[in-house]
Amino acid sequence: MYLLHGKLTAKDGKADRLADMLLDASKLVSTAIGCRLYVIGKDENDLNSVYVTEIWDSKEDHDNSLKVESVRELIARVKPILGAQPTKGQELEILGGSGITI
């Protein structure tokens, strides 16, 4: 099982819009093969940034989700409001735990 924890940084004043778009993304991927978790978070000390924490059955399932047309369209709409190039998220192999069925 694969966890990806990443950050996107919006242009000034656009963080709420970015968060809304990522909440839309969470709906798009909620039925994608292998998607276990896709949550949107905010750090009170970094108000221009929006975090996405995802758990997938495999990295391959995650990568395949990026090829879906509706997801690609959403990514294209997100890019103009980003204030910085997205950095590579942290990737983890999930060993187990509670809250998702492993």
Residue closer to its own copies by CB (options 82, 94) is: 94
Q: Which two tokens stand for residue 19?
A: 């968060």
Q: Based on the shown chain and the rule CB under 8 A, indicate whether residue 60 belongs to the binding site for its own copies.
A: no
Residue 53 CB, shortest distance to its own copies, in Å, is 6
CA atoms of 66 and 49, how far apart (whole Å): 21
Q: Based on the shown chain and the rule CB under 8 A, indicate whether residue 36 belongs to the binding site for its own copies.
A: yes
CA atoms of 102 and 90, how far apart (whole Å): 20
Q: Which amino acid is at 24?
A: D
Task: Give the chain's length.
Answer: 102
Q: Based on the shown chain and the rule CB under 8 A, indicate whether residue 40 belongs to the binding site for its own copies.
A: yes
Q: Based on the shown chain and the rule CB under 8 A, indicate whether residue 59 belongs to the binding site for its own copies.
A: no
CA atoms of 34 and 55, how far apart (whole Å): 8
Residues that bind its own copies (CB under 8 A): 3, 5, 19, 23, 26-27, 29-30, 35-44, 51, 53, 55, 90-100
